[in-house]
Structure 1
Amino acid sequence: MARSRSPVSTPAPEPAAPLPTALLSGPRLFAQTLALTEPVAWRYLGVAALSAALSGLAYAALVRPAVLLAAAVDGSTAPMLVHITNVMGGTFLGMFTFLLMWGLGWLGAGRAARPAEVFGASFALLPPLYLIVTVLAFLIPDSAWRPGAAALAAAGSDPQAVQRAALAGLRTTAPAFLLLAVTLLGTAAQCALAYPAFRELTGRPGRALAGAALPLLPALAVGVIALGPLLFSR
Protein backbone atom coordinates (compact mmCIF):
# COMPACT_ATOMS: atom_id res chain seq x y z
CA MET A 1 0.00 0.00 0.00
CA ALA A 2 1.37 3.40 -0.95
CA ARG A 3 1.95 5.71 1.92
CA SER A 4 0.11 9.00 1.90
CA ARG A 5 2.42 11.98 1.92
CA SER A 6 1.70 14.84 4.23
CA PRO A 7 1.68 18.19 2.45
CA VAL A 8 4.87 20.19 2.82
CA SER A 9 4.21 23.27 4.89
CA THR A 10 5.74 26.48 3.66
CA PRO A 11 6.49 29.31 6.02
CA ALA A 12 4.09 32.21 5.84
CA PRO A 13 5.61 35.27 4.18
CA GLU A 14 6.58 38.09 6.47
CA PRO A 15 4.03 40.92 6.50
CA ALA A 16 5.04 44.04 4.64
CA ALA A 17 6.44 46.85 6.74
CA PRO A 18 4.15 49.87 7.10
CA LEU A 19 4.79 52.95 5.02
CA PRO A 20 6.54 55.71 7.00
CA THR A 21 3.58 58.03 6.42
CA ALA A 22 1.40 55.57 8.36
CA LEU A 23 3.07 56.84 11.54
CA LEU A 24 1.67 60.31 10.90
CA SER A 25 -1.96 59.18 10.79
CA GLY A 26 -1.89 56.37 13.35
CA PRO A 27 1.21 55.79 15.50
CA ARG A 28 -0.31 52.85 17.39
CA LEU A 29 -1.48 51.09 14.25
CA PHE A 30 1.92 51.75 12.68
CA ALA A 31 3.60 50.14 15.67
CA GLN A 32 1.25 47.13 15.60
CA THR A 33 2.08 46.51 11.94
CA LEU A 34 5.78 47.13 12.48
CA ALA A 35 5.83 44.62 15.35
CA LEU A 36 4.93 41.84 12.90
CA THR A 37 8.13 42.41 10.93
CA GLU A 38 11.75 41.66 11.70
CA PRO A 39 13.70 44.61 13.12
CA VAL A 40 15.69 46.40 10.44
CA ALA A 41 17.45 49.46 11.80
CA TRP A 42 17.98 51.04 8.37
CA ARG A 43 14.43 50.38 7.13
CA TYR A 44 13.48 54.07 6.99
CA LEU A 45 16.99 55.48 6.61
CA GLY A 46 16.09 56.84 3.16
CA VAL A 47 13.26 58.90 4.67
CA ALA A 48 15.63 60.50 7.17
CA ALA A 49 18.23 61.10 4.45
CA LEU A 50 15.67 62.76 2.16
CA SER A 51 14.49 65.01 4.97
CA ALA A 52 18.07 65.95 5.84
CA ALA A 53 18.91 66.80 2.23
CA LEU A 54 15.78 68.93 1.85
CA SER A 55 16.51 70.74 5.10
CA GLY A 56 19.92 71.68 3.73
CA LEU A 57 18.35 72.76 0.46
CA ALA A 58 15.77 74.91 2.25
CA TYR A 59 18.44 76.65 4.31
CA ALA A 60 20.67 77.21 1.29
CA ALA A 61 17.75 78.65 -0.69
CA LEU A 62 16.85 80.98 2.17
CA VAL A 63 20.35 82.43 2.63
CA ARG A 64 21.09 82.49 -1.12
CA PRO A 65 20.42 86.26 -1.50
CA ALA A 66 22.91 87.03 1.27
CA VAL A 67 25.53 84.79 -0.34
CA LEU A 68 25.01 86.46 -3.73
CA LEU A 69 25.19 89.96 -2.28
CA ALA A 70 28.41 89.14 -0.43
CA ALA A 71 29.85 87.62 -3.60
CA ALA A 72 29.02 90.77 -5.54
CA VAL A 73 30.86 92.90 -2.99
CA ASP A 74 33.80 90.50 -3.00
CA GLY A 75 33.90 90.43 -6.79
CA SER A 76 33.36 86.68 -6.88
CA THR A 77 31.29 85.38 -9.77
CA ALA A 78 31.09 81.76 -8.56
CA PRO A 79 29.48 81.50 -5.11
CA MET A 80 28.25 78.00 -6.00
CA LEU A 81 30.70 76.44 -3.54
CA VAL A 82 29.05 78.35 -0.70
CA HIS A 83 25.60 77.12 -1.78
CA ILE A 84 26.85 73.53 -1.91
CA THR A 85 28.48 73.92 1.50
CA ASN A 86 25.22 75.17 2.97
CA VAL A 87 23.29 72.23 1.51
CA MET A 88 25.86 69.71 2.71
CA GLY A 89 26.06 71.29 6.15
CA GLY A 90 22.29 71.15 6.58
CA THR A 91 22.24 67.56 5.34
CA PHE A 92 24.94 66.53 7.80
CA LEU A 93 23.15 68.13 10.75
CA GLY A 94 19.86 66.53 9.67
CA MET A 95 21.43 63.07 9.62
CA PHE A 96 23.16 63.80 12.93
CA THR A 97 19.75 64.63 14.39
CA PHE A 98 18.40 61.27 13.21
CA LEU A 99 21.34 59.41 14.79
CA LEU A 100 20.91 61.42 17.99
CA MET A 101 17.20 60.58 18.20
CA TRP A 102 17.94 56.93 17.47
CA GLY A 103 20.61 56.67 20.16
CA LEU A 104 18.75 58.56 22.88
CA GLY A 105 15.49 56.80 21.97
CA TRP A 106 17.23 53.45 22.38
CA LEU A 107 18.70 54.61 25.69
CA GLY A 108 15.29 55.67 26.99
CA ALA A 109 12.89 53.11 25.54
CA GLY A 110 15.16 50.16 24.83
CA ARG A 111 15.65 47.91 21.82
CA ALA A 112 12.05 46.67 21.89
CA ALA A 113 10.84 50.15 20.96
CA ARG A 114 12.75 49.96 17.66
CA PRO A 115 13.68 53.65 17.85
CA ALA A 116 15.66 53.68 14.58
CA GLU A 117 12.57 52.65 12.65
CA VAL A 118 10.08 54.77 14.58
CA PHE A 119 12.15 57.95 14.49
CA GLY A 120 13.20 57.22 10.91
CA ALA A 121 9.56 57.03 9.86
CA SER A 122 8.77 60.23 11.78
CA PHE A 123 10.96 62.20 9.34
CA ALA A 124 8.21 61.67 6.74
CA LEU A 125 6.53 64.68 8.34
CA LEU A 126 9.20 67.14 7.20
CA PRO A 127 9.97 66.89 3.44
CA PRO A 128 6.79 68.65 2.22
CA LEU A 129 7.38 71.46 4.70
CA TYR A 130 10.98 71.93 3.63
CA LEU A 131 9.86 72.06 0.00
CA ILE A 132 7.38 74.83 0.85
CA VAL A 133 10.15 76.79 2.57
CA THR A 134 12.40 76.34 -0.47
CA VAL A 135 9.77 77.60 -2.90
CA LEU A 136 8.91 80.60 -0.72
CA ALA A 137 12.59 81.42 -0.31
CA PHE A 138 12.95 81.93 -4.06
CA LEU A 139 9.96 84.30 -3.99
CA ILE A 140 11.30 86.71 -1.35
CA PRO A 141 11.34 90.24 -2.83
CA ASP A 142 14.50 92.29 -2.47
CA SER A 143 12.66 94.93 -0.48
CA ALA A 144 11.94 92.39 2.27
CA TRP A 145 15.57 91.69 3.16
CA ARG A 146 18.07 93.96 1.39
CA PRO A 147 20.08 96.08 3.85
CA GLY A 148 19.59 99.81 3.69
CA ALA A 149 22.19 102.23 2.40
CA ALA A 150 23.42 103.02 5.91
CA ALA A 151 23.95 99.33 6.75
CA LEU A 152 25.79 98.71 3.47
CA ALA A 153 27.95 101.77 4.02
CA ALA A 154 28.84 100.54 7.51
CA ALA A 155 29.75 97.12 6.10
CA GLY A 156 31.93 98.71 3.47
CA SER A 157 33.78 96.26 1.25
CA ASP A 158 33.87 93.47 3.86
CA PRO A 159 31.87 90.60 2.30
CA GLN A 160 31.34 88.93 5.67
CA ALA A 161 29.85 92.10 7.14
CA VAL A 162 27.62 92.51 4.08
CA GLN A 163 26.46 88.93 4.37
CA ARG A 164 25.66 89.35 8.08
CA ALA A 165 23.61 92.45 7.32
CA ALA A 166 21.73 90.60 4.58
CA LEU A 167 21.10 87.61 6.86
CA ALA A 168 19.70 89.95 9.50
CA GLY A 169 17.18 91.15 6.91
CA LEU A 170 16.37 87.64 5.74
CA ARG A 171 15.72 86.59 9.33
CA THR A 172 12.59 88.75 9.41
CA THR A 173 10.98 87.20 6.32
CA ALA A 174 8.11 84.70 6.30
CA PRO A 175 10.19 81.79 4.91
CA ALA A 176 12.72 82.24 7.72
CA PHE A 177 9.95 82.12 10.32
CA LEU A 178 8.49 79.05 8.64
CA LEU A 179 11.87 77.28 8.57
CA LEU A 180 12.33 78.00 12.27
CA ALA A 181 8.84 76.69 13.00
CA VAL A 182 9.43 73.54 10.96
CA THR A 183 12.76 72.95 12.67
CA LEU A 184 11.47 73.38 16.22
CA LEU A 185 7.81 72.35 16.06
CA GLY A 186 8.58 69.57 13.59
CA THR A 187 11.09 68.04 16.01
CA ALA A 188 8.59 68.28 18.86
CA ALA A 189 5.94 66.63 16.66
CA GLN A 190 8.34 63.78 15.83
CA CYS A 191 8.84 63.05 19.52
CA ALA A 192 5.09 63.29 20.15
CA LEU A 193 4.42 60.78 17.37
CA ALA A 194 7.09 58.44 18.72
CA TYR A 195 5.55 58.16 22.18
CA PRO A 196 2.40 56.15 21.33
CA ALA A 197 4.41 53.97 18.94
CA PHE A 198 6.97 53.26 21.67
CA ARG A 199 4.21 52.55 24.16
CA GLU A 200 2.59 50.06 21.80
CA LEU A 201 5.89 48.32 21.08
CA THR A 202 7.15 48.15 24.66
CA GLY A 203 3.95 48.05 26.69
CA ARG A 204 5.68 50.28 29.22
CA PRO A 205 4.48 53.92 29.33
CA GLY A 206 7.43 55.08 31.41
CA ARG A 207 10.03 53.69 29.04
CA ALA A 208 8.06 55.00 26.08
CA LEU A 209 7.98 58.50 27.56
CA ALA A 210 11.71 58.39 28.27
CA GLY A 211 12.45 57.26 24.71
CA ALA A 212 10.36 60.06 23.23
CA ALA A 213 11.47 62.82 25.63
CA LEU A 214 15.22 62.24 25.93
CA PRO A 215 16.00 63.22 22.31
CA LEU A 216 13.83 66.34 22.33
CA LEU A 217 16.11 69.00 23.79
CA PRO A 218 19.32 67.75 22.13
CA ALA A 219 17.57 67.59 18.75
CA LEU A 220 16.18 71.10 19.24
CA ALA A 221 19.69 72.31 20.11
CA VAL A 222 21.04 70.86 16.86
CA GLY A 223 18.26 72.64 14.97
CA VAL A 224 19.17 75.98 16.55
CA ILE A 225 22.83 75.40 15.69
CA ALA A 226 21.87 74.64 12.09
CA LEU A 227 20.03 77.98 11.85
CA GLY A 228 22.59 79.85 13.95
CA PRO A 229 24.11 81.97 11.13
CA LEU A 230 20.62 83.15 10.23
CA LEU A 231 19.26 83.59 13.75
CA PHE A 232 22.18 85.41 15.30
CA SER A 233 23.41 87.67 12.48
CA ARG A 234 23.39 91.39 13.19
Structure 2
Amino acid sequence: MKAIQFQCCSPDEVIFGPDFHQSLYCHLLCGLLFREEIQFVFSTFAHSIVLAFRTFEQVWQELCDDIRDGELSSRVTAPSVRMAMSKLLKPSPELADLIYKKCSGLSNWYGLIPELFPNAKYIYGIMTGSMEPYLKKLRHYAGELPLMSADYGTSEGWIAANVNPKLPPELATFAVLPNIGYFEFIPLNNDAERLYMDPKPVGLTEVKIGEDYEIIVTTFAGTRIFPF
Protein backbone atom coordinates (compact mmCIF):
# COMPACT_ATOMS: atom_id res chain seq x y z
CA MET A 1 0.00 0.00 0.00
CA LYS A 2 2.89 2.38 0.69
CA ALA A 3 4.40 1.64 -2.72
CA ILE A 4 1.25 2.78 -4.53
CA GLN A 5 0.75 5.70 -2.10
CA PHE A 6 -2.55 4.31 -0.86
CA GLN A 7 -1.92 4.36 2.86
CA CYS A 8 -4.59 3.96 5.52
CA CYS A 9 -4.52 5.98 8.74
CA SER A 10 -5.42 2.88 10.78
CA PRO A 11 -2.83 0.33 11.94
CA ASP A 12 -2.94 -3.24 10.61
CA GLU A 13 -4.30 -4.54 13.91
CA VAL A 14 -7.41 -2.41 13.41
CA ILE A 15 -7.79 -3.29 9.73
CA PHE A 16 -7.60 -7.01 10.49
CA GLY A 17 -9.38 -6.82 13.85
CA PRO A 18 -11.57 -9.73 14.96
CA ASP A 19 -14.76 -7.64 15.39
CA PHE A 20 -16.23 -5.37 12.70
CA HIS A 21 -17.85 -2.88 15.08
CA GLN A 22 -14.71 -2.49 17.18
CA SER A 23 -12.61 -1.97 14.06
CA LEU A 24 -15.05 0.58 12.67
CA TYR A 25 -14.97 2.56 15.91
CA CYS A 26 -11.17 2.60 15.79
CA HIS A 27 -11.15 3.55 12.10
CA LEU A 28 -13.22 6.60 12.98
CA LEU A 29 -10.95 7.42 15.91
CA CYS A 30 -7.81 7.10 13.77
CA GLY A 31 -9.36 9.34 11.15
CA LEU A 32 -9.89 12.04 13.77
CA LEU A 33 -6.37 11.67 15.14
CA PHE A 34 -4.89 12.12 11.66
CA ARG A 35 -7.59 14.49 10.38
CA GLU A 36 -5.12 16.97 8.88
CA GLU A 37 -3.41 14.22 6.84
CA ILE A 38 -6.53 12.62 5.34
CA GLN A 39 -6.52 13.25 1.58
CA PHE A 40 -9.56 11.17 0.59
CA VAL A 41 -12.20 8.93 2.13
CA PHE A 42 -12.41 5.44 0.63
CA SER A 43 -14.31 2.20 0.88
CA THR A 44 -14.92 -0.44 -1.76
CA PHE A 45 -18.69 0.12 -1.68
CA ALA A 46 -20.59 3.35 -1.01
CA HIS A 47 -22.84 1.76 1.63
CA SER A 48 -19.79 1.16 3.85
CA ILE A 49 -18.97 4.88 3.87
CA VAL A 50 -22.57 5.74 4.72
CA LEU A 51 -22.58 3.12 7.48
CA ALA A 52 -19.36 4.53 8.93
CA PHE A 53 -20.71 8.06 9.24
CA ARG A 54 -24.10 6.91 10.48
CA THR A 55 -22.14 5.20 13.22
CA PHE A 56 -20.16 8.39 13.80
CA GLU A 57 -23.42 10.23 14.50
CA GLN A 58 -24.02 7.82 17.38
CA VAL A 59 -20.54 7.66 18.91
CA TRP A 60 -18.94 11.05 18.18
CA GLN A 61 -19.12 12.25 21.77
CA GLU A 62 -17.52 9.05 22.99
CA LEU A 63 -14.77 9.50 20.40
CA CYS A 64 -14.18 13.02 21.70
CA ASP A 65 -13.88 11.64 25.24
CA ASP A 66 -11.27 9.11 24.08
CA ILE A 67 -9.22 11.86 22.46
CA ARG A 68 -9.57 14.22 25.42
CA ASP A 69 -8.52 11.62 28.01
CA GLY A 70 -6.12 9.63 25.84
CA GLU A 71 -7.88 6.39 26.78
CA LEU A 72 -9.69 4.00 24.45
CA SER A 73 -13.35 3.25 25.06
CA SER A 74 -14.21 0.05 26.90
CA ARG A 75 -16.35 -0.96 23.90
CA VAL A 76 -13.07 -2.07 22.25
CA THR A 77 -12.06 -5.33 23.92
CA ALA A 78 -9.72 -7.02 21.40
CA PRO A 79 -6.25 -7.00 23.04
CA SER A 80 -4.33 -6.58 19.78
CA VAL A 81 -6.49 -3.62 18.76
CA ARG A 82 -6.26 -1.95 22.17
CA MET A 83 -2.48 -2.32 22.18
CA ALA A 84 -2.13 -0.82 18.71
CA MET A 85 -4.43 2.09 19.54
CA SER A 86 -2.62 2.82 22.80
CA LYS A 87 0.45 3.73 20.73
CA LEU A 88 -1.53 6.38 18.86
CA LEU A 89 -3.87 7.72 21.51
CA LYS A 90 -2.51 10.47 23.76
CA PRO A 91 -4.49 13.07 25.73
CA SER A 92 -5.43 15.96 23.42
CA PRO A 93 -8.08 18.26 24.91
CA GLU A 94 -7.57 20.82 22.13
CA LEU A 95 -8.37 18.33 19.37
CA ALA A 96 -11.34 16.95 21.29
CA ASP A 97 -12.76 20.45 21.78
CA LEU A 98 -12.23 21.28 18.10
CA ILE A 99 -14.09 18.17 16.91
CA TYR A 100 -16.87 18.74 19.45
CA LYS A 101 -17.30 22.33 18.23
CA LYS A 102 -17.40 21.32 14.56
CA CYS A 103 -19.91 18.52 15.12
CA SER A 104 -22.13 20.70 17.30
CA GLY A 105 -22.18 23.40 14.64
CA LEU A 106 -23.42 21.17 11.80
CA SER A 107 -27.01 21.27 10.58
CA ASN A 108 -28.31 17.69 10.47
CA TRP A 109 -24.74 16.50 9.79
CA TYR A 110 -24.58 18.14 6.37
CA GLY A 111 -20.96 18.48 5.18
CA LEU A 112 -19.66 16.26 7.99
CA ILE A 113 -16.77 14.77 6.00
CA PRO A 114 -15.03 18.03 4.97
CA GLU A 115 -15.53 19.40 8.48
CA LEU A 116 -13.77 16.40 9.98
CA PHE A 117 -11.09 16.15 7.29
CA PRO A 118 -10.28 19.65 5.99
CA ASN A 119 -7.69 18.47 3.45
CA ALA A 120 -9.79 15.70 1.90
CA LYS A 121 -10.15 16.15 -1.86
CA TYR A 122 -12.77 13.56 -2.78
CA ILE A 123 -14.71 10.47 -1.72
CA TYR A 124 -13.94 7.26 -3.59
CA GLY A 125 -15.69 3.91 -4.01
CA ILE A 126 -18.14 1.90 -6.10
CA MET A 127 -21.26 4.08 -6.32
CA THR A 128 -23.21 2.71 -9.28
CA GLY A 129 -25.64 -0.19 -9.69
CA SER A 130 -26.87 -1.47 -6.35
CA MET A 131 -24.84 1.26 -4.59
CA GLU A 132 -26.68 4.15 -6.25
CA PRO A 133 -29.43 4.38 -3.57
CA TYR A 134 -26.75 5.46 -1.08
CA LEU A 135 -25.68 8.49 -3.11
CA LYS A 136 -28.20 10.91 -1.60
CA LYS A 137 -27.01 10.28 1.95
CA LEU A 138 -23.38 10.19 0.86
CA ARG A 139 -23.71 13.58 -0.81
CA HIS A 140 -25.29 14.90 2.39
CA TYR A 141 -22.20 13.89 4.35
CA ALA A 142 -19.84 15.01 1.56
CA GLY A 143 -21.13 18.55 1.20
CA GLU A 144 -19.15 20.10 -1.67
CA LEU A 145 -16.62 17.27 -1.94
CA PRO A 146 -16.83 15.36 -5.26
CA LEU A 147 -17.86 11.71 -5.37
CA MET A 148 -15.63 9.52 -7.55
CA SER A 149 -16.93 6.17 -8.78
CA ALA A 150 -13.79 4.97 -10.51
CA ASP A 151 -14.44 1.23 -10.61
CA TYR A 152 -17.05 -1.34 -11.54
CA GLY A 153 -16.52 -4.61 -9.77
CA THR A 154 -17.80 -7.38 -7.55
CA SER A 155 -16.51 -9.20 -4.51
CA GLU A 156 -15.11 -11.86 -6.87
CA GLY A 157 -13.12 -9.49 -9.07
CA TRP A 158 -12.90 -6.20 -10.92
CA ILE A 159 -14.66 -5.68 -14.25
CA ALA A 160 -14.18 -2.16 -15.60
CA ALA A 161 -12.80 1.32 -14.97
CA ASN A 162 -14.62 4.65 -15.24
CA VAL A 163 -13.33 6.52 -18.29
CA ASN A 164 -14.13 9.90 -16.69
CA PRO A 165 -14.27 9.62 -12.88
CA LYS A 166 -14.72 13.39 -12.52
CA LEU A 167 -18.31 13.10 -13.72
CA PRO A 168 -21.09 12.36 -11.18
CA PRO A 169 -21.57 8.62 -10.55
CA GLU A 170 -24.95 8.70 -12.33
CA LEU A 171 -23.12 9.62 -15.56
CA ALA A 172 -20.37 7.02 -15.25
CA THR A 173 -19.17 5.21 -18.37
CA PHE A 174 -17.08 2.10 -17.81
CA ALA A 175 -14.52 0.42 -20.04
CA VAL A 176 -14.13 -3.33 -19.50
CA LEU A 177 -10.60 -4.46 -18.55
CA PRO A 178 -10.25 -7.61 -20.70
CA ASN A 179 -7.02 -8.85 -19.13
CA ILE A 180 -8.42 -9.50 -15.64
CA GLY A 181 -10.93 -12.19 -16.58
CA TYR A 182 -13.03 -13.67 -19.35
CA PHE A 183 -16.25 -11.74 -19.98
CA GLU A 184 -19.46 -12.85 -21.66
CA PHE A 185 -22.66 -10.88 -22.12
CA ILE A 186 -26.23 -12.18 -22.05
CA PRO A 187 -28.55 -9.99 -24.19
CA LEU A 188 -31.54 -8.60 -22.30
CA ASN A 189 -34.58 -8.42 -24.56
CA ASN A 190 -38.00 -7.16 -23.49
CA ASP A 191 -39.77 -8.58 -26.53
CA ALA A 192 -42.68 -10.65 -25.18
CA GLU A 193 -42.32 -13.23 -27.95
CA ARG A 194 -38.74 -13.95 -26.89
CA LEU A 195 -39.30 -13.69 -23.15
CA TYR A 196 -38.94 -17.41 -22.53
CA MET A 197 -36.11 -18.01 -24.99
CA ASP A 198 -32.73 -18.92 -23.59
CA PRO A 199 -30.39 -16.22 -24.96
CA LYS A 200 -26.84 -17.27 -25.73
CA PRO A 201 -24.03 -15.14 -24.33
CA VAL A 202 -21.83 -13.18 -26.70
CA GLY A 203 -18.20 -12.15 -26.41
CA LEU A 204 -16.81 -8.72 -25.59
CA THR A 205 -16.28 -7.85 -29.25
CA GLU A 206 -19.83 -8.86 -30.19
CA VAL A 207 -21.79 -6.49 -27.97
CA LYS A 208 -23.84 -3.80 -29.72
CA ILE A 209 -24.09 -0.14 -28.78
CA GLY A 210 -27.44 0.71 -27.21
CA GLU A 211 -28.24 -2.85 -26.15
CA ASP A 212 -28.51 -4.10 -22.54
CA TYR A 213 -26.61 -7.13 -21.29
CA GLU A 214 -26.08 -9.17 -18.14
CA ILE A 215 -22.38 -9.80 -17.54
CA ILE A 216 -20.87 -13.23 -16.90
CA VAL A 217 -17.34 -13.24 -15.49
CA THR A 218 -15.00 -16.22 -15.51
CA THR A 219 -12.06 -15.62 -13.20
CA PHE A 220 -8.55 -16.99 -13.65
CA ALA A 221 -9.41 -19.58 -11.01
CA GLY A 222 -12.14 -20.89 -13.33
CA THR A 223 -15.06 -19.57 -11.30
CA ARG A 224 -18.00 -18.39 -13.39
CA ILE A 225 -20.06 -15.69 -11.70
CA PHE A 226 -23.03 -13.44 -12.43
CA PRO A 227 -22.34 -10.05 -10.77
CA PHE A 228 -25.23 -7.86 -9.68
TM-score (norm 1): 0.24
Structure number with greater CO (CA < 8 Å, separation at least 6) is 1
Greater strand fraction, Structure 1 or Structure 2 = 2
| Structure of larger gyration radius | 1
Greater helix fraction, Structure 1 or Structure 2 = 1
